[in-house]
Amino acid sequence: MSEIWQDPEIINWTQNLLNSYENRLNRALIERKSDLEEQAKSLFLAPFVVVSHGTENDPIFNYGNQIALDLWEISFLDLLKTPSRKTVKDTISEVERAKMLDTAKKKGYIDNYQGIRISSTGRLFKIENAIVWNITNAQGIYLGQAATFAEWQIFE
């Protein structure tokens, strides 16, 4: 079985994630490589969280790197079936999250986001200084939103 980052769809999605991040924030999320599979591997194994969801009415995760999978205590295939709102701890956080996603959609990105999340096993953690950005393809078509953060606190 091949690794997640070797899947052609993941390689393509990685390009959309990285290009959209650079276009919105005027800096690279990771060091870019000419080998697209190596670039997908670098993002998947990066020492910070990267997750994304699509454009469904109830957006479903379509990507999570290894740190995200570890933090949410979920497999890649199970993540791909999870509505992103299901990882929000409570309705107050869900309302705040909805406002944040709307602001990010209008502005293109937001930074310094924080909130309480819940893993698949019920473990709570707080994310801090997250960046959320809109994902578009090369033609500028909106594909969803992504988030990255390197700071979190797990509640025991």
Beta bridge mates, 131: 148
Q: How many angstroms separate the first and last alpha carbons of the chain?
A: 35
CA distance linking residue 98 with residue 7, whole number of Å: 31
Cα four-point dihedral sign 94, 150, 6, 143: positive
Q: Which amino acid is at 146?
A: A
The pair phi, psi for residue 52, each rounded to 5°, is -150, 160
pTM of the model as a whole: 0.91
CA distance linking residue 85 with residue 7, whole number of Å: 26
CA Rg value for the chain: 15
- Which pLDDT belongs to residue 103? 83
Q: Which amino acid is at 101?
A: L
Residue 31 DSSP class: -
- Domain spans of the chain, in order of start: 4-154
CA distance linking residue 3 with residue 124, whole number of Å: 29
Residue 81 DSSP class: T
- Which pLDDT belongs to residue 95? 75
Per-residue pLDDT of the chain (156 residues; tens, 9 = 90+): 589 999 999 999 999 999 999 999 999 999 999 999 999 999 999 999 999 999 999 999 999 999 999 999 999 999 999 999 899 876 666 677 677 778 887 888 999 888 889 999 999 999 999 999 999 999 999 999 999 999 999 997
> Residue 97 class from Cβ within 10 Å (0-12 exposed, 13-18 middle, 19+ buried)?
buried
- Which pLDDT belongs to residue 91? 60
Superfamily covering domain 4-154: PAS domain (3.30.450.20)
